[in-house]
């Protein structure tokens, strides 16, 4: 029986698909998937087979092996596009090395076309640095205004001022799911408001896509960034989806081979989309692996079951942490589990987050500690750092129980 045939995920069976859990043993509790997920054997095997039997450079050779590699690479592009429900999956997906590069491509490729001192970019205060720093860099160069949507004490965006902030804006950038607070933002509502104001919308879906179906048409978004390594795929590959007419307007971000139709000593003619944004030898094996990861999520797991499993596990985690630690722990983000994903950032009284992470490691519990590449958000919370446990398909209640036990130990060590 596959995981999608039952009423709930068979976590034990799914864990058997991941070599790292057999390598590390039963006392290994991986709660850092928001930073990077683990990979099932089918992904590792697909990449290994590619390198052993199918590798050549793409878009260059006319011999059979090169054409085979090109076909596999382009099939992976098509697969990412269909996963996103892109209207034109073969032409609207640009492969990049991660969501960070995708968002930099938006800033440099689209921002330089649309922005001037008379325009503005609207972001949220909960953005990852990847959807903030590129705009700060470009602001220094072009002089446009940056505005920010605030979030409230519950970790949810305050939309009362959205109309005023969007007035005269050319671009709205928003994360679909906060990597610190777990907040699930109302993407469609924000897209509608931005479009009414004449602004394009870029969505950072790096945290959202591993856990939920992404439908760019239902969102109505203009550009969406995502990455492979957070959704069971390899590191070194991500994608920017954008409506084709937007990609046509954008200017290249990187120059070199494969992104040109012609070059002279005086200038160049860029390639057609999406290739004009893919300079140099691309991450071919990584694209092959990412395609298999998407197939695994959709067919071996199933997003409906995945969402249900994670919400139930989030409810269990919130209750277990609050009941087990009481007033000694503070969990950031929405209190309603339906309004958040399985990302639990917290502070433990009297224990620095880095000390928390080190003590948890002694118990085999892996969590992230730090500012999570979201320093402005942490400052709004009045914190320099938090510890963060993040959940995925291979986690179960025993992982949460191990987390609570380890946190008890951490508190005792520093509050004896």
- What per-residue confidence (pLDDT) applies to 416? 73
- What per-residue confidence (pLDDT) applies to 357? 98
Write the CB contacts of 5 (distance below 8 Å, at least 6 apart in sequence): none
Q: Is 373 a catalytic residue?
A: yes
| Residues in the chain where the model's pLDDT stays below 50 | 1-6
Kind plus residue range of the DSSP H or E element containing 288: helix 284-295
Write the CB contacts of 118 (distance below 8 Å, at least 6 apart in sequence): 144, 168
Q: What are the pLDDT digits (tens) for 333-386? A: 999 999 999 999 999 999 999 999 999 999 999 999 999 999 999 999 999 999
Q: Which domains does the chain have, with CATH numbers?
A: 3-30+302-411 (3.90.1150.10), 45-298 (3.40.640.10)
Which tokens go with 173?
């950038």
Q: What are the pLDDT digits (tens) for 32-60? A: 999 999 999 999 999 999 999 999 999 98
The bridge status of strand 169-175 relative to strand 120-124 is parallel
Helices 303-325 and 397-415, axial angle in degrees (round to 10): 30
Nearest by Cα to 177 from 222, 224, 216, 209: 209
- What per-residue confidence (pLDDT) applies to 7? 56
CB 92 within 8 A of CB 247: yes
pTM for the full model?
0.96
35, 114, 133, 373: the catalytic one is 373
């Amino acid at each position: 029986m596959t995981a999608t045939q039952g009423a709930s995920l068979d976590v034990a069976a799914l864990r058997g698909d991941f070599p790292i859990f057999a390598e590390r043993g039963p006392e290994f509790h991986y709660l850092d998937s928001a930073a990077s997920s683990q990979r099932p054997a089918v992904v590792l095997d697909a990449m290994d087979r590619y390198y052993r039997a199918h590798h050549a450079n793409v878009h260059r050779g006319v011999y059979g092996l090169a054409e085979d590699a090109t076909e596999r690479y382009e099939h992976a592009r098509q697969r990412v596009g269909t996963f996103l429900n892109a209207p034109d999956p073969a032409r609207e997906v640009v492969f990049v090395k991660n969501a960070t590069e995708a968002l930099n491509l938006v800033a440099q490729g689209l921002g330089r076309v649309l922005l001037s001192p008379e325009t503005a970019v609207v972001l949220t205060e909960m953005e990852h640095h990847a959807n903030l720093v590129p705009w700060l860099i470009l602001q220094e160069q072009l002089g446009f205004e940056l505005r920010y949507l605030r979030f409230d004490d519950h970790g949810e965006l305050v939309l009362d001022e959205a109309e005023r902030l969007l007035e005269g804006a050319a671009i709205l950038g928003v994360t679909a799911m906060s990597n610190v607070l777990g907040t699930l933002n109302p993407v469609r509502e924000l897209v509608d408001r931005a479009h009414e104001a004449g602004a394009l919308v870029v969505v950072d879906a790096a945290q959202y896509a591993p856990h939920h179906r992404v439908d760019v048409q239902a969102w109505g978004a203009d550009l969406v960034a995502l990455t492979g390594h957070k959704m069971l795929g390899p590191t070194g590959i991500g994608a920017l989806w954008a409506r084709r007419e937007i990609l046509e307007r954008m200017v290249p971000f990187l120059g070199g081979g494969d992104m040109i139709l012609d070059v002279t000593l005086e200038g160049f003619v860029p390639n057609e989309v999406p290739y004009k944004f893919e300079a140099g030898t691309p991450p071919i094996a990584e694209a092959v692996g990412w395609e298999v990861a998407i197939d695994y999520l959709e067919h071996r797991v199933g997003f409906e079951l995945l969402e249900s499993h994670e919400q139930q596990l989030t409810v269990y985690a919130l209750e277990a942490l609050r009941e087990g630690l009481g007033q000694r722990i503070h969990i950031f983000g929405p209190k309603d589990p339906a309004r958040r994903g399985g990302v639990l950032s917290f502070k433990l009284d009297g224990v620095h987050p880095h000390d928390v992470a080190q003590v948890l490691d002694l118990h085999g519990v892996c969590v992230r500690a730090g500012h999570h590449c979201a320093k402005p958000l942490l400052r709004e919370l009045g914190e320099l750092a938090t510890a963060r446990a993040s959940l995925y398909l291979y986690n179960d209640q025993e992982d949460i129980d191990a987390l609570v036990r380890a946190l008890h130990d951490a508190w005792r060590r520093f509050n004896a």
